[in-house]
Structures are given as C-alpha cells and as structure tokens.
Amino acid sequence: MIAVSAAFDSGNIEVVRCEAPDDIVLRIARDAHSDFFQWFHFRLSGARGEACTVRIIGLEASAYPGGWPGYEAVTSHDRATWVRSPSRYDAAADGGTLTIEVTPLHDHVWLAYFAPYSMERHHELVARMMVLPGVQARVLGASLEGQPIDCLTIGEGPRQVWLYARQHPGESMAEWWMEGALEMLTDPADEVAAALRAGATIHCIPNMNPDGSCRGHLRTNAAGVNLNREWAGPTAERSPEVLAALAAMTATGVDFAIDVHGDEAIPQVFIAGFEGIPGITERQLGLLGRYKETLARATPDFQTRIGYPPAAAGRANLTMSTNQLAERFGCLAMTLEMPFKDHDDNADSRAGWSPERSKGLARSCLAVLAEMLPDLR
C-alpha cells in the first residue's frame, strides 16, 4: 500500500489523495497561527521500483510562489545523501502545482524542500562541539515551547562576533552553514581558525527557532511569529527566542554579525546589508563593501550582482535583526542568503545548492572575517 507520512521531526505535508503511484496529490500545511507555508518534508512508502508522480497543489498561495519555477525537490533513501529529482511547476494547475517524478529504489523514500537539519542533529552538533577544548556551551533562554536556545562560544579575543541561523526554520541550509562554521572554528589544524580564536570571541546560535524547526514551519515560531521582524521590541509572549539572543548580544556588544538564511526564489548566494539604517556611517558601508567583494573573490559560490535592492536612506526596517544590530552597535551586521534552488554562477545539476556547499561557504565567510578582523573596531 502506498502511504505518505510527515509525523516526525520537521515533517510537513497533508495528503489530498494517495491512491496509485501516478496519483499522489498533496498539500503543504500552513505554519501554526499564520498564513506562511512552503517547507515540505515527508516519507513516501510502498512504491519500491514504481515510477511515482507526486503533485503538491495550491502553491500559488505559498509564501513565495516565485520559488517554484526552476526548483527541483530533494529526495533521499538514507536521509544522509539528498539528490534533486526531476520537478516542474505549473502555476495554472490546481492553484499552482509542483510535480515531482521519483522512482523509489527501496521501500521508503524521503522528499523535502531542502536537505533537512533535524533537532536531533542539532543536539548531536551541540554535544559534539561542547566536548572540544575551548568550547563553552550556554543556554541563552527558552523557546515558547520550552526548547533551549543554544549558544556555542569559541575563542578569547577582544572582537565580539555573533553568528546565528534559522530564525526562519524552513531554511535548513542555514544550520548546515553553522555546522561548517563550528567544525572549522574548532579545527586544531586550521590556521585561519586559530587566528579567529585569538582575535575574537565567536558566539554561535545554530538554531534560533527550534519550535518552528520541529513543527516543520517555513517562517515562524510556535505562535506564528516571524522572528526576524521582532528585533525592535521582542517580548516574552511573542518572541522569547529573540529576547534571549538580543540580551546576550547586548551583554557582550557586537563587532560583527552574520544572520544566516535561505532564499526561495533567487538562484544565487548573496548578502543583504543595512544601508538604510538611520545611523549609517561611511565606516560601516566601507566594511560591508569590502566584505562582499573579498568573499566574491574568495569563492565561486558567492556573487554581488544579484540580491535584494538596498533600503533607501533612513528607511531600513529596524525590526530585522541585522538592521537592528548595525544601528544599535554601529557594527558590520549582514544577512547571508543561500538558495533553495542553486547558485547559478556555479551550478551543480545533481545536488543543486546542498549541505556540503553550505558548509564550504561558511569556511569562506570565516576566512574573510579573519582577514578583516583587525579593522572591525
């Protein structure tokens, strides 16, 4: 019997019809208490060796309909290796339909919007890092549903660096990036990491939104709140995750911050800056331009031509974290966006953008930080 299940960590799908391999029709559930939806993750069972046609319908109402054209779903048989499966989007069919073709090689196959990063893997990451020399594991606070907001701190230098990810829980590539950053920062043989540990204290929050991650949300926490619109005035009732992180950042100060995200529509890696903040300085703009240009030279997996248009002077949205941090601390604070699709400047037709490339990008980002560290204060 063919069956579809999403009743597990970060699962999200609703079955409309599941009668035959060529007639599997599904919908994505909305984030609780909100209208956002786009993340999907489910298991398809009982169709070994059969050519399956999976249709996810109603997607013109999703958070980013522009994310579906040119997008291919990822599939896995071992939940470790994820590859792209042929997918096509028809905006006119059943309110917007993504059709995925997959022939399961085994009794179960998993499908997802991007390679998932489970809360179990999060806890394994924290445990693996915490036992290494020079790593301090702290709990900054708790989510609405009582999960810890974990922070791993490495290094003893005077510059205060904050790296944080997954405010938007469906952007799982952000925690893959954090895993790459933490592995590099704790590598005893890495000279760049040694320079960073000597020159900076690096605070890493691998997952800002554990509740949304477990629940299979795209964009919000358990209360349906978009955490990256809470930084001007977080509250214990709506956004304790941000309240905890901002309190910890205020205690140390911030010289440099990266908020790690994924973008649904744009097939490129890019950085969004803070150009429109009221207190913008030439020094901040100079650091921003230099960081982006140096990173583009350091790796083919980054570019500066394509991204979000910068906010007009004085018009930045201060509820967004990097604008708030750049304004409050006068620092370099950037939003890093990785694609759900691929980085078209350096495309990989088999895997698309992937966990491995997310981790590699983290190493490049940290190398540029190391180079600029002396000028950050």
Question: Does 341 interact with Zn ion (rule: CB under 5 A)?
Answer: no
136: left (phi over 0), alpha (psi -120 to 50) or beta: beta
* Residues 50-89, mask of contacts with Zn ion (x by CB under 5 A): ----------------------------------------
Element (H, E) at 210: helix 210-215
Kindly indicate which of the ranges 38-46, 179-187, 256-264, 281-289 contains the residues binding Zn ion, using the contact rule CB under 5 A.
Answer: 256-264
Kindly indicate which of the ranges 75-83, 85-93, 162-170, 236-244 contains the residues binding Zn ion, using the contact rule CB under 5 A.
Answer: 162-170
Shorter beta-carbon distance to Zn ion: residue 218 or 277: 218
Shorter beta-carbon distance to Zn ion: residue 68 or 195: 68
Residue given tokens 């629940």 in the structure block: 215
Question: Does 217 interact with Zn ion (rule: CB under 5 A)?
Answer: no
Residues in binding contact with Zn ion, number by CB under 5 A: 3
Element (H, E) at 339: strand 332-339
Cβ neighbours of residue 371 closer than 8 Å, sequence gap 6 or more: 294
Q: How far is 67 from 263, CA to CA, in rounded Å? A: 8
Catalytic residue among 237, 337, 356, 371: 337
Active site residue 337: yes
Burial of 17 (0-12, 13-18, 19+ CB in 10 A): exposed
Question: Does 357 interact with Zn ion (rule: CB under 5 A)?
Answer: no
Question: Does 261 interact with Zn ion (rule: CB under 5 A)?
Answer: yes
Kindly indicate which of the ranges 131-139, 142-150, 171-179, 319-327 contains the residues binding Zn ion, using the contact rule CB under 5 A.
Answer: 171-179
User: How would you classify the pairing of strands 108-112 and 41-45?
Assistant: antiparallel
Question: Does 166 interact with Zn ion (rule: CB under 5 A)?
Answer: no
- State which amino acid sits at residue 134: G
Question: Does 215 interact with Zn ion (rule: CB under 5 A)?
Answer: no
Q: How far is 221 from 215, CA to CA, in rounded Å? A: 9
Residues belonging to the active site: 337
Binding site for Zn ion (CB under 5 A): 168, 171, 261
